[in-house]
Structure 1
Amino acid sequence: MTTALPASSPSPAGASALPTATVQTVLGPVDPATLGRVMVHEHPLSLAPGPWTTGGGDVDEHAIALAASALAPLLDHGIDVVVDLSPYGVVGRADHGENIELLAEVSRRSGVHIVAGTSVYLEAFSPAWTVDAGLDAMAERMSADLTRGIAGTAVRAGVLGEQATGLGAITPHEDKCLRAAARAHLRTGAAIMTHTTHGTMALEQVAILRDEGADLSRVVIGHMDIQPDIDVLAAVLEMGACLALDTIGKQHWDFFLAPQPTPETDGEYGKRGYFRSDLSRARILAELWRRGYGDQILLAQDLTGAEVSLNPTTHGQWGYAYLPAVFLPLAMEHGLPPEAADTLLRSTPLRLLTLGGGS
């Protein structure tokens, strides 16, 4: 159920209205009925560990070529849409989003549709302009990214996210940006996809978004496969929100509490190592499906170059294909019915990504 990528340019940057009943990709609006399966949380411009890998060549060209070659195999698994949830200033997105047009070229070369998010990450990693901006200014910026284009380009965002909160806490800045996302959502109808740090503050995120009047059926609470308490996951779902099991394959990872200090100093700084098995993820997915929550769950890998070497048998061996080729069969061995795949990877994510037309 795939469609050729649109040959036309993206919507004009000056346009003010969102299209009706379409998925907004970096190459323009697409009819959701023509789309296949979806990976809802990736960062395709974050695959290279650094400019040195280009051998002195063009850094942007290297990032584009690497991303395109990594994404293309998804088509063999019926996945033709990837959502880039890179916040300003991290995992491949420039501080003001001015490199967003690189994603359009990645899409053209790979044959995979890409939907861009707009969001702000954890306060410690946020660009100064986002910290300085007030709530109204942030809501306006996010709305403009959806309706006019990111950083003055013609590339529109198609979703709000990954909007982030911290480890066991929500700073005033993070609260502001989450509320700004909710207000942009109310103006545009775009879905919200969040980042929880290791599954903490999930219920608090839902409460803030509900306080702002968000439609919780169009809210996805992210990284909940790292939360070990299935009752917390069920509580989020009972509140009416969706959740993402979106770090599949990331069994080992490092978490940096904050960037290295500037100027850098010798010695230790805030980093923790974590392990989360895909077997536990598979069992949780099968159990949530058994409890009747299947149409509120989305899947992805959150794959970045930084973690590939830490996970040589998952991301390192399979890349983006790990989820459909290895993880889904594992989940089916533990009770997930085969028919679940289309709900998890197609009908639910496309419902959330569709703008207008009663979505």
Structure 2
Amino acid sequence: MSFIRTLRGDIRPEDLGFTYSHEHIVCRPAYWVEKEADDLLLDDKEKSKLDVADFKQHGGKSIVDATAVDYGRDVQAVKEISEELDIHIVGTAGFNKSFLWDAGISERLKPMIGDYRTYSEWIDATSINSLTDFVIREVEDGLEGTPYKAGQVKFGTGYNRITPLEEKTLRAVARAHLETKAPLHSHTEAGTMGLEQIELLQSEGIDLSHMSFGHMDRNPDPYYHEQIASTGAYLSFDGVAKIKYAPESTRIHCILELVKKGYEDQILVSGDTARKSYYKHYDYGLGLEYIIAKWVPRFIDDANRQGFDGRALINKFFVENPARCFTFNK
């Protein structure tokens, strides 16, 4: 039995349609709240909804919301956006990365995990098996006590290092994947430590064809990308529009290098749009419409000029590949 799990229930893979594979829609990360970093707080459901509506207006069907428990997700608000706009949204169980974990834990979470002050304290004090059980419950019962179930499980590591607590959450999430068959996703800080994550995942017996690695375009190294792709994993180029990290020509070059090597079935594309200043309806940014309305035509033209079938590749990156990547196979 194959299905994709959304906040509104399970759907057939062929019903997913044009998909952004890594976004954030409504979230108030405790770490950034405590730092008073307002730009990193997507805290207005109605403004977020307007950007999602723009995406839908241009033909978008589905969004994977990669907001984990330690990044201040608002499950109810995102579910309401999904319902009100009739768009599929995939939720995320698991964890992000260690530098976020010194933030205070919300009161709503404490009944489910105990009276810990910070995420670091909770993760440090809890066994891998108990963390695994927490992730499994979020996939099979619902996120943070809601009835809305996660459609992928996630872990993350920091820049050029994996801390002991990050390894602990990686192993817990890997084991939750083995139990639930939920697709796996990782945060790689600036695109680093993907190969080291792979070593740990392989020690847990993970089939990497169920795995997607985030932020690959933050490390625009075609040799490195090929090493990851050769394992069968998906590579997420999810920094589109963030020219401060690299021009689109660099991102497109890396994608097409993978296509030349035969890995076009393992590429995902998205924007990781996680700041008010990236959103159109918060702070006049390019918004969720940018990729589907502006980047896609540019990619098609660029790829066609280089001898590729740009439109066919777009269909792979946004329709066919997500439909496979985010599928539970039970």
* TM-score normalised according to structure 2 size: 0.84
1:153 lines up with 2:146 in the alignment: yes
What 5-or-longer segments of structure 2 have no aligned partner? 102-118
C-alpha distance in 2 between matches for 1:237 and 1:276: 21
Amino acid at match of 2:138: D
| Counterpart contact for 1:21–1:31, Cα < 8 Å | yes
Distance in 2 of aligned mates of 1:191 and 1:142 = 12
Are the equivalent residues in 1 in contact too, given 2:212–2:235 (CA < 8 A)? yes
* Contact 1:84-1:116 within 8 A present in 2 as well: yes
Instruction: Letter of the 1:26 partner, please give it.
Output: L
Return the structure number with greater helix share: 2
CA distance in 1, matches of 2:174, 2:277: 31
Paired position in structure 1 for 2:157: 165
Question: How far, CA to CA, are the matches of 1:239 and 1:32 in structure 2?
Answer: 23
Shift of 1:301: 0.2
Partner amino acid, structure 1, of 2:130 = A
Q: Report Cα offsets for 1:28-47 as digits up to 9, x if no partner.
A: 11222223111111110149
Deviations 1:188-222 (A, max 9, x none): 11111111011110111111111111111010111
Cα distance in 2 for partners of 1:131, 1:109 equals 39
Give the equivalent residue in structure 1 for 2:47: 66
Counterpart of 1:281 in structure 2 is 251
More relative contact order, 1 or 2 (CA 8 Å, 6+ apart) = 2
5+ residue gaps, structure 1: 1-19, 53-58, 94-98, 253-274
Task: Figure out how many residues of one structure are paired with residues of the other and give that number.
Answer: 298
- Asked if structure 1 preserves the Cα contact closer than 8 Å seen for 2:220 and 2:251, the reply is no
1:121 aligns with 2:102: no
Instruction: Provide the secondary structure at the position in 1 that maps to 2:205.
Output: coil
TM-score, length-normalised on structure 1? 0.77
Distance in 2, Cα, partners of 1:84 & 1:217: 20
Point out the more displaced range, 291-300 or 330-339: 330-339
Partner of 2:185: 193
Q: Which deviates more, 240-249 or 129-138?
A: 129-138
* Contact 1:120/1:130 (<8 A) preserved: no
1:290 pairs with 260, 276, 290, which one?
260
Moved more, 333-342 or 204-213: 333-342
Q: Percent identity?
A: 29
Aligned pair partner of 1:212 in 204, 211, 216? 204
Match of 1:176 among 149, 168, 171: 168
Separation in 1 of the partners of 2:58 and 2:125? 44
| Residue aligned with 2:26, SS | helix
Partner of 2:194: 202
Do the aligned partners of 2:19 and 2:61 also contact (CA within 8 Å) in 1? yes
